[in-house]
Structure 1
């Protein structure tokens, strides 16, 4: 072999060695990334399975002709915030240990324009509760019948299907916000209230701030600084801020932490595939969210306060939600007056 041929052969071998040295680490990173992504997928699926709880009715709302699926259909999701903290458990011992919803929001998702309607329902809203066959504050529907009773009550009240629900307690809420690194908000009002453990106070000042989990919870829960209508607006702003921050995540590690935080004490009838469908529906959007609220009128019955829903407000919200969900069937006639045979106003049930 000539000297020039030997030289070219050595150069080719050297280039192959250099290529191997460069490509091998890249392959390791690629394989590692795929492996880590697979790990996250399995972890998320496991968390979702642990959080899954089927409703007594099954997968289909009685207000649907057929069951629906995220990404394929327009859907609704009821968000329930329930205070199941140790501090609250002590407070409920005298009342049979029953918990109530402290926050109740119904979100409808339209798959075509990728928009969301978010309805806030004040906790003291005076409605008919089917599971108890009487009218009371909507927050008590959970005490009477858990998630099943609450969904049935909301469907009866707004005359739209509740396809899915997500129930979170306040401990998991704090974890979610903290895992996101806090949420950015223009806080509408200054608040000072007990922390989640009721062992101290938390203050949130009016203005633009980054809130941690405890601060966000205090802002969402505070009841005596304005009114239930304004409280509902604060809760909507917080939900919007959480959604925006979650959609902006570009860290795989952060996403894994968020999945773990959200699923630790969450309950839902969304399967893992359903969750993926919801995420895919909203991918690439700027979170087109319209916030709606049930207006009410203050009313006292036997000396107990209730928020009597304004009929026109409820009618408008019903029509908006039906249109957003693409429902063309005629709305059911309201039966509140016909079923209002009992007004349960025991003191322990109206705290």
Structure 2
């Protein structure tokens, strides 16, 4: 076989591979678009926004991440609440953990209660309204993750690697300190432990953040395209958001620098028993200080 035939054969082989990759790429693209339509559920526009968010113009925005513990026959409660504020102008992302027992006004119920009860009373919309009132900022986007079913996502990507800072046992599983590789069931147990953690809710939320970040990292490294079917199926079953696919693409491209500079803060307060019920009480001074920081981060007056 002469060199011309070798080059022709090699060229045809590369062309065939390119066509296969192109077809698979188009298939994945259409599946991603289809998935984005399934998980898309809008909420009411925030009254705290005069003009709507425009990610094309690189406006700062906020995202409320709800880790919801839904079990069969139960609507569920927001097991964890995390607020992300992203500012591409100074390339920063702030993550604020809001303890589930935080005592505040539940907007729409007109009662003082634990902040995570807002989800049980009125779902995502009431939770968004309550957090907006509590911190005096607009919530532009939300992502609701079903932590019970999130184990399916972990299994779909072949497990996740985490760094465990606390030796503990939960659901009959022993988690040693150090680097751990977890399957879906173990990852769920890892995130659910709360009472043996000296940091309480904050420790639990830190573990939940680790799992979510590990899922994103591991998912981005997957080279076997066959796995995307199971991943997208798991996302359809366990994630709800008001992000459109166009906004996700824009944010991924235009806000990348901000996502690489993450600052994590805790909502400063203390535990308190009121009429025999445990609450996380945030002093007004601390609440106002945090509110002002977040408004500055979002370029609000």
Same fold (TM over 0.5): yes
Equivalent of residue 95 in structure 2, options 118, 122, 126: 118
Measured after TM superposition, the shift of residue 130 of structure 1 is 0.9
Q: Which runs of 5+ in 1 are unaligned?
A: 1-10, 90-96, 195-200, 330-351
Measured after TM superposition, the shift of residue 243 of structure 1 is 3.9
SS of 2:238's equivalent in the other structure is: coil
After superposition, the Cα gap between the structure-2 partners of 1:234 and 1:50, relative to the gap in structure 1 and judged at 3 Å, is same
**2:52 match:** 67
**1:42 match:** 30
How many residue pairs end up in the alignment? 298
The 5-angstrom pairing of residues 38-187 of structure 1 reads: 38-55=26-43, 57=44, 60-70=45-55, 72-86=58-72, 89=73, 97-187=74-164
The 5-angstrom pairing of residues 254-293 of structure 1 reads: 254=227, 257-281=230-254, 283=256, 287-293=260-266
After superposition, the Cα gap between the structure-2 partners of 1:286 and 1:124, relative to the gap in structure 1 and judged at 3 Å, is closer
**1:25 match:** 13
The 5-angstrom pairing of residues 173-252 of structure 1 reads: 173-194=150-171, 201-226=172-197, 227-249=200-222, 252=225
Measured after TM superposition, the shift of residue 157 of structure 1 is 0.8
More displaced stretch, 282-291 vs 17-26: 282-291
RMSD across aligned C-alpha pairs, in angstroms?
A: 2.5
After superposition, the Cα gap between the structure-2 partners of 1:79 and 1:286, relative to the gap in structure 1 and judged at 3 Å, is closer
SS of 1:305's equivalent in the other structure is: strand
Larger radius of gyration: 1
After superposition, the Cα gap between the structure-2 partners of 1:325 and 1:148, relative to the gap in structure 1 and judged at 3 Å, is same
Measured after TM superposition, the shift of residue 297 of structure 1 is 1.8
**What TM-score results when the alignment is normalised by the length of structure 2?**
0.88
Residues 192-251 of structure 1: per-residue CA shift (max 9 Å, x gap): 223xxxxxx333222222233223322222121122233233333444444444455555
Measured after TM superposition, the shift of residue 307 of structure 1 is 1.0
